[in-house]
């Protein structure tokens, strides 16, 4: 086997590691924090005020 | 103006919306490809020359092909001879112009209606 | 609030109140430059040469400069609007405030499409490049490109997932190296250092000058966009730069200047070394033209330098695309234009992590299954629809909020000339696309029409009306 065959396996392996890292961290984050905290980002500052006046949180 | 309160969307409904959008996306890319309608294909004219001379290559051009590793002209003849066909029908062109203009008009019209609603709700208090 | 000053140093841009976990404001002008140029510079390393195939070498130069004018207009317009509308989502957020929700939804999709397709094209090129290195290093079999395509996307998605500062600092370094590589290749092949290897006169003589005549020049405009496609992505960083009103115009305009130089140098070196038929065939001929040019110099260091440059350029571009596509997707989710689930920000890394992860398999599906020129065309078409929207947006922006009614971070000169020029060049480019890829163009617009109807009649019910309008501006004139 040439070094390039090993490189192919290494690339498959590393891809799996990065993918697993993201998926595991994603699931962990989703189960640790509430949906309200995670999706609390708002675009400008006025929108937050409008929503406060409207009396609901989307 | 009444304050519009958007309904909360359930998880399943969210998932369904994503699936719809993805199906549309992949459809737009793959349907023309599967139907063989995807354009941009170059064709090699029949009976095109296979030698450097017949392909109209001068000394400098031949030297560069040799430097690229093509010493046999037949190996690159398909690349050199292939041409696009730019003939088109006027009907097709008109249809395309109508589609593009109609698309933007539709976009602006619907957007305008929705925009007036947004502005009214925001500034009429 | 009408006198809210976006240029204020104290306010330091827009600070969204009520946000407990938001995107992080950490970037400076250099990062904006790196994001813009990083995405685009790969266009110099691959893809632009399809324009040579479309109309010959001279046609590609004309296309390069006309597209350069088009993008200068884009950069000017973008700088003005985005230095005033400073939020992630870029043109999407602009459209939402200026034209209306449906247009905004479409623009959001243009952005995600253009960047995701470009990302796929980059991954394809990276895979090709590695297989080419394997071949040159004497590898006997055929290298499986798939693991390398997947690895490049996974690695960059991971980097993006982990935080924006590291992502764009990485981009700054590799983009600078890739740009320097072009300059060094130019200096060492054109006789400025050492002997000149240029053979423009011989390679472009006779029928090689304008092989298709003038219609070829028009047709070349299609891929002429590729020299600069993506520079408008600088606006996506708006919510993450420390001082958007200053950094965005500076980064964007410095970016377009860098690209005009890089594009012209690239054209000069490549057409002076590579016969046009081979150069213009980006599938079977010269996939990575600058790399091919380096091979023809017979200089081992240049081959290595441009090989590294090509790889870095593709990675920088894919990296920026992941950043931009995920910001656009995130903004659409945050406003409920798309399911609100996507509007989440990672509490530690402060990135739109769900959007980043979600777009990975989509990019992979395109990278592994579709041919390069189709992917490039879809990216160009989405970009083109976006550029057509920009002048309309600009004209409405100046009409609804005339000069002086709000504080702008940057005001572009000669309005409405840039808008008119941009619109005319877009029309020409539509015709160029029609000449080769009319079916895809129609398929694409059909897609946007169906998606629009879906949005207008179904999806829009989940969107709160007034809260979409987040800028502290007065009521638009005429409404």
The overall average pLDDT reported for chain B is: 89
Domain ranges of chain B: 8-39, 41-87, 88-125
Confidence at residue C253, expressed as pLDDT on a 0 to 100 scale? 92
- Do residues B37 and C441 touch, judged by C-beta distance below 8 A? no
Confidence of residue C388 (pLDDT cuts 50, 70, 90): very high
The overall average pLDDT reported for chain C is: 91
Confidence at residue C135, expressed as pLDDT on a 0 to 100 scale? 87
Residue C241 backbone phi and psi in degrees, to 5 = -90, 150
Is the minimum CB–CB distance between B3 and chain A shorter than 8 Å? yes
Across residues C436-460, what is the average pLDDT? 90
Whether residues B3 and A54 touch (CB distance < 8 A) is answered with yes
Mutate to test the interface with B, among C284, C397, C479 (most CBs of B within 10 A): C479
Which residue in A has a C-alpha nearest to residue C17's C-alpha?
Answer: A45
Top mean-pLDDT range of B1-10, C199-208, C266-275, C375-384 = C266-275
Q: What is the pLDDT of residues C318-350, one digit of tens each?
A: 999 999 999 999 999 999 999 999 999 999 999
Q: Is the pLDDT of residue C63 over 70?
A: yes
Confidence of residue C2 (pLDDT cuts 50, 70, 90): very low
Q: Which of chain A's residues have a Cβ under 8 Å away from the Cβ of C17? A: 42, 45, 48-49
Whether residues A47 and C467 touch (CB distance < 8 A) is answered with yes
Is the minimum CB–CB distance between A19 and chain C shorter than 8 Å? yes
Whether residues A58 and C464 touch (CB distance < 8 A) is answered with yes
Chain C: give the shortest CA distance to residue B46, in Å.
Answer: 18
Across residues C92-116, what is the average pLDDT? 95
Confidence at residue B1, expressed as pLDDT on a 0 to 100 scale? 54
Is the minimum CB–CB distance between A39 and chain B shorter than 8 Å? no
Across residues C16-44, what is the average pLDDT? 86
Write the burial class of residue C335 (CB in 10 Å: 0-12 exposed, 13-18 middle, 19+ buried).
buried
Q: For the whole model, what pTM was predicted?
A: 0.91
Q: What is the pLDDT of residues C135-180, one digit of tens each?
A: 888 888 889 999 999 999 999 999 999 999 999 999 999 999 999 9
- Do residues C139 and C355 touch, judged by C-beta distance below 8 A? no
Confidence at residue C471, expressed as pLDDT on a 0 to 100 scale? 87
Q: Is the pLDDT of residue C359 over 50?
A: yes
Across residues C266-283, what is the average pLDDT? 94
Across residues C85-113, what is the average pLDDT? 93
pLDDT tens for the 58 residues of chain A, in order: 688 999 999 999 999 999 999 999 999 999 999 998 898 888 864 333 333 333 333 3
Is the minimum CB–CB distance between C470 and chain A shorter than 8 Å? yes
Q: What is the pLDDT of residues C411-429, one digit of tens each?
A: 999 999 999 999 999 999 9
Across residues B28-52, what is the average pLDDT? 79
Chain B: give the shortest CA distance to residue C353, in Å.
Answer: 17
* C 117-156 near B (Cβ less than 8 A): none
Confidence at residue C16, expressed as pLDDT on a 0 to 100 scale? 44
Across residues C34-50, what is the average pLDDT? 93
Whether residues B122 and A56 touch (CB distance < 8 A) is answered with no
Q: Which of chain A's residues have a Cβ under 8 Å away from the Cβ of B11? A: none
Q: Is the pLDDT of residue C12 over 50?
A: no
Whether residues C20 and A47 touch (CB distance < 8 A) is answered with no
Confidence at residue C184, expressed as pLDDT on a 0 to 100 scale? 97
The domain defined by C33-468 folds into: Amino acid/polyamine transporter I (1.20.1740)
Across residues C449-454, what is the average pLDDT? 93
Whether residues A8 and C334 touch (CB distance < 8 A) is answered with no
Classified as helix, coil or strand, B65 is helix
Domain ranges of chain C: 33-468
Chain B: give the shortest CA distance to residue C338, in Å.
Answer: 8
Whether residues B3 and A50 touch (CB distance < 8 A) is answered with no
Across residues C432-456, what is the average pLDDT? 89
Whether residues C18 and A52 touch (CB distance < 8 A) is answered with yes
Q: What is the pLDDT of residues B62-93, one digit of tens each?
A: 999 999 999 999 999 999 999 998 988 899 99
Q: Rounded distance, CA C204 to CA C201, Å?
A: 6
Q: Rounded distance, CA C30 to CA C17, Å?
A: 27
Is the minimum CB–CB distance between B11 and chain A shorter than 8 Å? no
* C 22-51 near A (Cβ less than 8 A): 22-23
Confidence at residue A51, expressed as pLDDT on a 0 to 100 scale? 36
């Amino acid at each position: 086997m040439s070094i390039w065959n090993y490189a192919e396996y290494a690339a498959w392996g590393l891809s799996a590691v990065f993918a697993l890292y993201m998926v595991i961290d994603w699931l962990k984050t989703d189960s640790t924090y509430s949906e309200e905290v995670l999706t609390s980002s708002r675009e400008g500052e006025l929108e937050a005020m409008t929503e406060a006046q409207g009396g609901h949180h989307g | 103006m009444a304050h519009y309160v958007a309904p909360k969307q359930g998880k399943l409904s969210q998932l369904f919306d994503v699936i719809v959008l993805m199906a549309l996306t992949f459809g737009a890319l793959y349907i023309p490809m599967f139907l063989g309608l995807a354009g941009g294909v170059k064709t090699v004219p029949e009976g095109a020359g296979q030698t450097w001379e017949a392909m109209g290559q001068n000394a400098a051009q031949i030297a560069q092909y040799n430097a690229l590793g093509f010493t046999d002209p037949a190996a690159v003849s398909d690349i050199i001879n292939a041409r696009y066909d730019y003939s088109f029908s006027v009907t097709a062109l008109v249809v395309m112009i109508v589609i593009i203009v109609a698309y933007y008009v539709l976009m602006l019209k619907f957007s305008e209606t929705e925009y007036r609603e947004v502005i009214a709700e925001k500034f009429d208090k | 609030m009408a006198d809210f000053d976006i240029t204020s140093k104290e306010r330091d841009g827009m600070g969204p109140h009520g946000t407990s976990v938001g995107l992080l404001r950490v970037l400076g002008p250099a990062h904006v430059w790196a994001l813009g140029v990083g995405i685009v510079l790969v266009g110099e390393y691959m893809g632009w040469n399809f324009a040579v195939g479309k109309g010959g070498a001279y046609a590609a130069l004309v296309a390069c400069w006309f597209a350069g004018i088009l993008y200068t207009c884009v950069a000017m317009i973008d700088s003005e609007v985005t230095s005033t509308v400073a939020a992630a989502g870029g043109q999407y957020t602009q459209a939402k405030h200026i034209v209306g929700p449906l247009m905004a939804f479409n623009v959001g999709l243009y952005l995600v499409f253009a960047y995701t397709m470009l990302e796929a094209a980059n991954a394809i090129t990276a895979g090709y490049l590695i297989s080419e290195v394997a071949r040159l290093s004497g590898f006997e079999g055929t290298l499986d490109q798939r693991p390398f395509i997947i690895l490049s996307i996974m690695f960059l998605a991971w980097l993006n997932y982990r935080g924006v500062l590291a992502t764009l600092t990485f981009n700054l370094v590799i983009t600078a190296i890739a740009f320097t590589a072009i300059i060094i290749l130019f200096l060492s092949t054109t006789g400025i250092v050492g002997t000149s290897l240029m053979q423009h006169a011989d390679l472009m003589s006779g029928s090689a000058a304008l092989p298709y005549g003038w219609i070829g020049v028009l047709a070349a405009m299609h891929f002429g966009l590729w020299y600069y496609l993506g520079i408008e992505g600088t606006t996506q960083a708006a919510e993450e730069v420390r001082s958007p009103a200053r950094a965005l115009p500076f980064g964007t305009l410095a970016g377009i200047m860098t690209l005009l130089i890089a594009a012209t140098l690239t054209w000069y070196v490549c057409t002076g070394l590579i016969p046009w038929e081979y150069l213009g065939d980006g599938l079977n001929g010269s996939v990575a033209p600058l790399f091919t040019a380096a091979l023809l110099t017979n200089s081992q260091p240049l081959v290595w330098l441009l090989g590294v440059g090509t790889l870095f350029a593709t990675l920088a571009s894919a990296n920026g695309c992941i950043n931009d596509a995920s910001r656009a997707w995130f903004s659409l989710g945050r406003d409920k234009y798309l399911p609100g689930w996507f509007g989440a920000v990672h509490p530690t890394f402060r990135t739109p992590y769900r959007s980043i992860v979600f777009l990975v398999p989509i990019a992979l599906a395109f990278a592994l299954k579709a041919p390069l020129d189709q992917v490039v065309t879809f990216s160009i078409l989405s970009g083109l629809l976006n550029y057509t929207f920009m002048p309309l947006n600009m004209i409405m922006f100046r009409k609804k909020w005339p000069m002086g009614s709000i504080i702008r971070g940057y005001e572009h000169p000669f309005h409405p000339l840039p808008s008119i020029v941009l619109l005319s060049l877009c029309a020409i480019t539509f015709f160029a696309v029609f000449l080769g890829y009319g079916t895809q163009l129609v398929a694409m617009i059909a897609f946007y029409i169906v998606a629009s109807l879906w949005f207008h009649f179904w999806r829009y019910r989940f969107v709160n009306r007034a809260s979409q309008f987040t800028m502290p501006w007065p009521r638009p004139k005429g409404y």
